[in-house]
């Protein structure tokens, strides 16, 4: 059997983490602690629609965590951690200034096979939190694999400054277009063609142009799908109020126009 050409494949770079978009909506997350670090963990989980329980004496809650409790955004248990708090938990986040207690909780989580993150103790973490830029549906995470959280924040801010201010809105528009496309091409066998066409759309228009697409634009754009073509933005805009393309020189009268990018 012939050996594959090694130069055609990327080299393995060990020592990294598997960065995924973890869906924890409706999952039970236990947060042990009520300080600044806990507040950040809690917000991250609430943003992901998790069900959060905080275990910490009331007197040790900082103002943000106390606010979450007062607004009933989290469930609060007003005492120190007890092993029974792990019952039913899908994830445990520990953020207390007590290394011995933290390690004890970590060991209990391992016994119960519950994934856990012990703040500021990389060896006792099943996963790390990164520094996240959020703009609507857009999320960009920078991770240093637990080695430099503050540097991760600096890098994240640098990346965010390079992005256009409307990046999130453009993604919302793409999402709407995908939903509409699936409505007109719902069959599983349509999948490859849908994906290929959406790739062309994403490559044809800039982020700012995506943001400018109206409901009428999307309806006109979808008329090109059967032919697999994507019109230029100029052509698409010329169809506003002119859906039959009568003002265009390149219309062949079929379902979809003969011009494409």
Q: Which residues are catalytic?
A: 120
The structure tokens listed for 162 are 């390079």
Task: Please say whether the beta carbons of 53 and 32 come within 8 A.
Answer: no
Q: Is the dihedral of CA 244, 246, 248, 253 positive or negative?
A: positive
Q: How far apart are CA 139 and CA 158, in angstroms?
A: 15
- Biggest CA–CA distance in the chain, Å, is 77
Let me know: does 35 contact 95? Beta carbons within 8 Å.
yes
Is 250 buried (19+), middle (13-18) or exposed (0-12) by CB count in 10 A?
A: exposed
Taking only Cα atoms into account, the Rg of the chain, rounded to an integer number of angstroms, comes to 25
- Which helix (H) or strand (E) element contains residue 163? none
Describe the crossing of helices 36-47 and 63-70 by its angle, rounded to 10 degrees. Answer: 40
CA 213 to chain centre: 23
Burial class (CB in 10 A: 0-12, 13-18, 19+), 220: buried
- Count of beta carbons in the 10 Å neighbourhood of residue 224: 23
């Amino acid at each position: 059997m012939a050996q594959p050409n090694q130069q055609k494949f990327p080299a393995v770079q060990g020592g990294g983490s598997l960065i995924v978009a973890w869906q924890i909506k409706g999952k039970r997350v236990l947060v042990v602690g009520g300080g600044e670090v806990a507040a950040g963990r809690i917000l991250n989980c609430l943003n992901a629609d998790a069900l959060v329980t905080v275990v910490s004496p009331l007197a040790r809650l900082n103002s943000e965590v106390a606010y979450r409790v007062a607004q009933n955004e989290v469930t609060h248990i007003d005492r120190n951690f007890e092993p029974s708090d792990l019952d039913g938990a899908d994830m445990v986040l520990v953020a207390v200034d007590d290394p011995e207690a933290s390690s004890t909780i970590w060991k209990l989580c391992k016994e119960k096979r519950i994934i856990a993150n012990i703040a500021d103790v990389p060896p006792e973490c099943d996963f790390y939190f990164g520094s996240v830029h959020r703009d609507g549906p857009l999320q960009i995470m920078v991770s240093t694999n637990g080695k430099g959280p503050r540097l991760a924040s600096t890098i994240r801010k640098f990346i965010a400054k390079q992005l256009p201010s409307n990046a999130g809105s453009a993604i919302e528009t793409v999402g709407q277009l995908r939903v509409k496309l699936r409505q007109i091409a719902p069959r599983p066998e349509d999948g490859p063609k849908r994906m290929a066409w959406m790739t062309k759309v994403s490559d044809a228009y800039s982020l700012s142009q995506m943001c400018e697409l109206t409901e009428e634009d999307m309806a006109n754009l979808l008329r090109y799908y059967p032919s697999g073509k994507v019109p230029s933005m100029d052509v698409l805009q010329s169809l506003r109020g002119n859906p039959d393309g009568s003002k265009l020189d390149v219309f062949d009268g079929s379902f979809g126009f003969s011009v494409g990018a």
